[in-house]
Amino acid sequence: MTAKEYLSQARYLDLRINSKVQQVASLNDLATKATSTLTGMPRNPNHATSTMEETIAKIIDLQAEINRDIDRLVDLKQEITAVIKAVDNNEYQTLLEKRYLCFLSWEKIAVEMGYSIRNIQILHGKALASVIFPNAA
């Protein structure tokens, strides 16, 4: 695993959490929709309840998954923060924090740090070269 891959883990985990949150919202919308069909045929009275129960169970499972992922993200950000703080150059630290902990775009980082995008990318390469990270699987 490269330094860039190691540092990028938090961003990808954050994206997965956001995706799961969107899934929960979608399931909540689905669970609150009620449609009825009027026919003369008898129907199973437990059918609608069963579907609702299944949807609610999926929502609960997904929310538990989100909570586990958030716990992992907090731990991962702490690890990444420690790795970034071990870098000797303060400018490199700032750049790495903005990119890998705040998830800012190159454009935003360049503006905030007062560099061109190209210079930020060059600085980023140097910053990555100075990162010493634990051997992660």
> 110 in a domain, yes or no?
yes
> 136 in a domain, yes or no?
no
Secondary structure (3-state) at 96: helix
- The residue segments making up the domain with residue 95 are 3-33+49-129
**Domain count for the chain:** 1
> 134 in a domain, yes or no?
no
Decide if 59 contacts 24 (C-beta within 8 A): yes
> 44 in a domain, yes or no?
no
Q: Is the pLDDT of residue 103 over 60?
A: yes
Q: What is the pLDDT of residues 35-44, one digit of tens each?
A: 555 555 566 5
Q: What is the pLDDT of residues 34-76, one digit of tens each?
A: 555 555 556 655 555 557 778 788 889 999 999 999 999 999 9
Global pTM value: 0.77
Per this entry, what is the length of the chain? 137
